[in-house]
């Protein structure tokens, strides 16, 4: 894994799993590598984003510069230096 630092924006629902941070910085060339990196520091957060077999959970969406990651390779979606990754979970409150 190379040291490309990428900002991952978290919804408030998941921030308590990242010590309250709205954003975490992670390194990697792909979304999967970013999540691997996040898992080393915030394992509970990573488990809410991927299941036990490393598959992205279907009720949490990842957007790489505004583009939904399932369209661009899922965990293999490439991320670059200027990328912002947004995590948007399914919520049903009304």
**Residues near another protein (CB under 8 A):** 9, 11-13, 22, 51-53, 55, 57-59, 61, 63, 66-68, 70-71, 86, 88-94
Q: Which residue, 2 or 90, has its beta carbon nearer to another protein?
A: 90
Q: Which residue, 5 or 88, has its beta carbon nearer to another protein?
A: 88
How many alpha carbons fall within 13 Å on the CB side of residue 27? 6
Cβ at position 2, least distance to another protein in Å: 26
Strands (E), the chain: 5-9, 23-27, 60-64, 67-68, 84-89
């Amino acid at each position: 894994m190379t040291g490309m630092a990428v900002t991952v924006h978290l919804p408030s629902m998941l921030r308590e799993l990242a010590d309250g941070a709205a954003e975490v910085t992670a390194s990697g060339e792909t979304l999967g590598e970013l999540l691997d990196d996040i898992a080393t520091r915030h394992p509970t957060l990573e488990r809410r984003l991927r299941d036990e077999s490393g598959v992205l959970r279907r009720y949490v969406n990842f957007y790489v510069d505004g583009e939904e990651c399932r369209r661009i390779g899922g965990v293999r979606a490439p991320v670059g230096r200027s990328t912002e990754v947004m995590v948007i979970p399914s919520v049903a409150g009304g």
